[in-house]
Structure 1
Amino acid sequence: MGILEGKKILVTGVLTDSSIGFHVARVAQEQGAEIALTAFPRPTLTERTARRLPSGPDAVPPVLELDVTNAEQLDALAGKLRDVGFDHLDGVVHAIGFAPQTALGGNFLETPWEDVATAVHASTFSLKSLTMACLPLMNDGGSVVGLDFDATKAWPVYDWMGVAKAGLESCSRYLAKYLGPQGIRVNLVAAGPLGTMAAKSIPGFGGMTEMWPKAAPLGWDIKDSDPTARAVVALLSDWFPATTGEIVHVDGGLHAIGAPE
């Protein structure tokens, strides 16, 4: 029996099989969960990717279109989940982040507010809006887990996405504060750089992927999303019943050291 046996989990951010969300969904299924996926902007691509999950092409989990910046779609989410047999949720995975190119790659001082606002709305406020959209289905408590990238430092090229991630970390703590009385835990997993489609679109991202494996005490494989997915699934499970407002680093230990040797 897996650690998510019998649980219903909503996973966002599955685009291709390199997406962290895909690997979370894979491990969640392997651990016994029934999952539903959200998709944006290409639900058909997510549906094709979902066929590669352990459930196979004949048992593809439901895929619901969801733009987390669209209030109407958020308002309709709980109803759509009920329509596909999810009368409750035990867990929600927030694996969503977006910033315009002008907000990345060393443009920090020139980025206009409109592009900063887009990054914060999609990458930070969406944790709160997604959680609230799912709240009607979490009457028995549950676990919300978001994907993070250590926001305690100013990273090369990450720029306003780093600011958005700092906001995500703060947002998770406030959600933990306000939703704790309802038995809902809110935690983040801060992963090291992984070779996702989104990461590859960041100008200069290759510099971090070259540095990280050499500097991390445990080493780091940018092609291996399994450690990150396992951490997310562990936090979704009942094995962390009294943990909320936490950030679990899955980065080979790089966050814990100073300047690399």
Structure 2
Amino acid sequence: MGILEGKKLLITGVLMDSSIAFHVAKVAQEEGAEVVLTSFGRTMKITQTISRRLPTAPTVVELDVTDEEHLDTLAERLKEHVDGLDGVLHSIGFAPQGAFEFMTGTWDDVAVAMRASAYSLKALAVAALPLMENGGSIVGLTFDAKFAWPVYDWMGVAKAAFESTNRYLARDLGPKNVRANLVSAGPLRTTAAKSIPGFERFEQVWGERAPLGWDISDPVPAAKACAVLLSDWFPATTGEIIHVDGGVHIMGQ
């Protein structure tokens, strides 16, 4: 029996089969979970196509985390497919190109990044909560926000807000038996990475600095960490950030 046997999971962010979210869905199904995916707008067809590469093609529901109507109706729309949720994966992030220039980025650019990439964690949790009456787990994906990374700029600030949001969620959802944790993955060749100008600078040095080494084309280690956090195997862990980066986060200069 798999570690997610009988669990019902909502997974956001499946756009390509190279993404962490896709592999979380794949591992989850292999471990016995029933999965529902989200997408919206023009990407719905892409997600539906990619979903057929999973062991079992899941339902795809529409969700734009910056659309209040989508959030307000999410629980009711999900009830058409599942009778509850045991876990949610937040794999969402967006910033306009201007947000990747720290000194020249405008508030309009920053506000978009903050809403889509940080506030959305709280918004998604609140939207899913009515279906988590028996508790469960919310897992998000971050890129270690303790540092001022090259090229990441306002997206790095948004990730810092995202990590803080996770701690407050852990505080407020704990009494409802809902855990909130993050996985901080090393750089991977995903759709999100391609949108970051100069991302190849991470690729050049990460493997050299990682004690365990690092494969920028392998999202499975991060996906497995998410799957474990979505399971019952971390029943007393919340507000945590699990690093899946080959060990780079422990290294000095």
TM-score, scaled relative to structure 1: 0.96
Give 3-state SS (helix, strand or coil) of 2:163's partner: helix
Distance in 1 between the 2:230 and 2:83 partners? Answer: 18
Corresponding residue number in structure 2 for 1:11: 11
Of 117, 129, 137 in structure 2, the residue corresponding to residue 135 of structure 1 is: 129
Structure 1 position 19, deviation (Å): 1.5
Runs of 4+ in structure 1 displaced over 6 angstroms?
none
- How many residues align structurally? 252
Is residue 62 of structure 1 aligned with residue 56 of structure 2? Answer: no
Structure 1 position 198, deviation (Å): 1.2
Structure 1 position 69, deviation (Å): 0.4
Corresponding residue number in structure 2 for 1:158: 152
Unaligned runs of 5+ in 1: none
Q: Superposition pairs for residues 7-86 of structure 1, below 5 Å?
A: 7-41=7-41, 42-55=43-56, 60-84=57-81, 86=82
Corresponding residue number in structure 1 for 2:140: 146
Deviation sequence 1:47-106 (CA, Å, 0-9, x none): 000000012xxxx2110111000000001111111012x1100000000000001111xx
Give 3-state SS (helix, strand or coil) of 1:64's partner: strand
Question: Percent same amino acid at aligned positions?
Answer: 63
Deviation sequence 1:125-150 (CA, Å, 0-9, x none): 00000000000000000000000100
Q: Superposition pairs for residues 65-144 of structure 1, below 5 Å?
A: 65-84=62-81, 86-104=82-100, 107-144=101-138
Corresponding residue number in structure 2 for 1:193: 187
Distance in 1 between the 2:155 and 2:238 partners? Answer: 24
Structure 1 position 202, deviation (Å): 0.6
Is residue 212 of structure 1 aligned with residue 189 of structure 2? Answer: no
Structure 1 position 40, deviation (Å): 3.0
Look up the equivalent residue of 2:80 and give its one-letter code. Answer: D
Is residue 237 of structure 1 aligned with residue 227 of structure 2? Answer: no
Corresponding residue number in structure 2 for 1:251: 245
Deviation sequence 1:201-246 (CA, Å, 0-9, x none): 2100001011101111111001000000000000000000000000
Structure 1 position 187, deviation (Å): 0.1
